[in-house]
Amino acid sequence: MNAATSSAPLTESAKTESVPEGKPVLAILTIDDDIQLFRGNRHNFADLIETGRELGYLAYVVTVRNLKLGRSRVLGYTYRREREVWVKGYFPKPHVVYNRIPQREDERLPRVRKKLMLISKYPGVKLFNRRFFNKWSLFQWLNKSKATRPYIPETKRLTEPQVLTSMLKRHSLLYLKPIRGKAGVGIMTVKTQPEKHLPYRLQIQNEKRSRTYRCSTLQKLWERIKAQTDALGEPYIAQQGIALASVNDRPFDLRALVQKNETGNWELTGIGARVAGNASITTHVPRGGEIDEPEKLLVSVFGRERAQQVLAQARNAALILARQIERSSKHRLGEMSMDLGVDTTGHVWFFEANSKPMKFDEPHIRRKSLERIFQYSQYLYGRLRQTKEGTVR
């Protein structure tokens, strides 16, 4: 572990960095931590600060506790690559606040919600990515628009056994997912195999591995599922299972990164692919999933020409979906990642979007994603200055 990830020693105070002319100051907002000072992906924060420096922007990390907008200076942290240390210091008030609070539980705390509300209303400051999404809201938002409806699998809240019964009449594979889940935790699949003695096959993915149960009746199936959802204490959705395209019997899906650019419009930063690990019901890298190239995978399944069409459909869908999500979320968004599936016929499906994207390991996507944060911040800064001039006049 190097100092970018550890609770690095604070060896000295940051010297006051100068504020570049005509450029916004960016604060990366996270939550304070008693031991390591602040939470979140330190590598990511360090990369962002460094990219800012290269492009002539001042960026620093600030905690919910320390971001006091009424003051002229803000206590924050910056990273010094030469010595691999995080350094504490005072920084100028930010123009743009990029919310990277890493966990839902933290974002739900009353003091955090209050602070986010204050920032969003504060004149002279623009906040983006105000909150996490949940899978049920996403579905409802995307179901409202004709343009996005074709991309979403049929989805219901899993509130009673009848939901399961009716969904299983229409789909022989279902995905059951916690609405606030991540990294595959708590995901289950149900498969019906009517010809079998035990016709319901339930697969449950836990923190470490996945287990399979076979049930003779819907009643027994429901009881097993209920025990699992109760144990997690999270509401669930039941979703039409998509037969994902696969290569060598390993299904894959696409991960798109969509960000706003220097004109404030959504643009696709990049698209990657994740191939499922053996015997995993999801494609997450920590579960044996692997990164691969979307184009290569699609060509091997569909041939060159059809692969190009599918990829174009995925790129186009990602933008349409992002616009609809932002419109419905009623908050300013600057970026999101998306999990998209491609079925065996080449149709593109939306699984989820995340307003706190994990870093993409593909170098070309990574670099661009960091730059875009500053390009979009520059756009927001332009808007701030316009309103200011507007009020002076």
Ligand X SMILES: Nc1ncnc2c1ncn2[C@@H]1O[C@H](COP(=O)(O)OP(=O)(O)O)[C@@H](O)[C@H]1O
Q: What whole-number distance in Å separates Cα of residue 24 and Cα of residue 27?
A: 10
Q: Per rule CB under 6 A, is residue 351 in the interface with ligand X?
A: yes
Residue 362 CB neighbours (<10 A): 18
Stretch that binds ligand X, among 100-108, 164-172, 233-241, 323-331 (CB under 6 A): 233-241
Q: Binding partner of residue 324 among ligand X, Mg ion, none, CB under 5 to 8 Å per kind? A: none
Q: Phi and psi at residue 112, in whole multiples of 5°?
A: -75, -45
Question: Would you call 350 helix, strand, or coil by DSSP?
Answer: strand
* Residue numbers 172-231 binding ligand X by CB under 6 A: 175, 177, 181-184, 187
Q: Per rule CB under 6 A, is residue 242 in the interface with ligand X?
A: yes
Q: Binding partner of residue 181 among ligand X, Mg ion, none, CB under 5 to 8 Å per kind? A: ligand X
| 107, 267, 339, 371: residue in contact with Mg ion (rule CB under 5 A) | 339
Sign of the CA dihedral running 307, 308, 311, 316: negative
Q: What whole-number distance in Å separates Cα of residue 309 and Cα of residue 386?
A: 41
DSSP 8-class letter at 7: -
**# binding residues, ligand X (CB under 6 A):** 20
In the complex, the smallest distance separating the C-beta of residue 18 from Mg ion, rounded to whole angstroms, is 41
Q: Are the beta carbons of 126 and 96 closer than 8 angstroms?
A: yes
Residue 359 CB neighbours (<10 A): 16
Q: Which is nearer to Mg ion, 259 or 375 (CB)?
A: 259
Q: Binding partner of residue 282 among ligand X, Mg ion, none, CB under 5 to 8 Å per kind? A: ligand X
How is residue 14 written in tokens? 């940051």
Q: Which is nearer to ligand X, 26 or 202 (CB)?
A: 202
Binding mask 350-379 toward Mg ion (x if CB under 5 A, else -) reads --x---------------------------
| 107, 253, 326, 362: residue in contact with ligand X (rule CB under 6 A) | 253
Q: What whole-number distance in Å separates Cα of residue 105 and Cα of residue 366?
A: 27
Q: Which is nearer to ligand X, 38 or 133 (CB)?
A: 133
Q: Per rule CB under 6 A, is residue 283 in the interface with ligand X?
A: yes
In the complex, the smallest distance separating the C-beta of residue 253 from Mg ion, rounded to whole angstroms, is 9
Rounded to an integer, what is the distance from CA 291 to the centroid of its chain? 17
* Residue numbers 133-172 binding ligand X by CB under 6 A: 153
In the complex, the smallest distance separating the C-beta of residue 296 from Mg ion, rounded to whole angstroms, is 22
Q: Which is nearer to ligand X, 78 or 239 (CB)?
A: 239
- Amino acid in position 6: S
Q: Which is nearer to Mg ion, 67 or 338 (CB)?
A: 338
In the complex, the smallest distance separating the C-beta of residue 193 from ligand X, rounded to whole angstroms, is 17
Q: Which is nearer to Mg ion, 62 or 187 (CB)?
A: 187
Q: Per rule CB under 6 A, is residue 239 in the interface with ligand X?
A: yes
Q: Per rule CB under 6 A, is residue 320 in the interface with ligand X?
A: no
Quote the Cα angle for 303-306-307, to 5°. Answer: 70
Q: H helices of 158-293, where?
A: 161-170, 218-232
Q: Are the beta carbons of 58 and 25 closer than 8 angstroms?
A: yes
CB-based closest residue to Mg ion? 339
Report the first-to-last Cα separation within the chain, whole angstroms.
Answer: 54
Calculate the alpha carbon distances from 381 to 207, 267, 301 in Å: 42, 19, 45
Judged by the rule CB under 6 A, the positions of this chain that interact with ligand X are: 153, 175, 177, 181-184, 187, 239-242, 244, 253, 282-283, 339, 341, 351-352
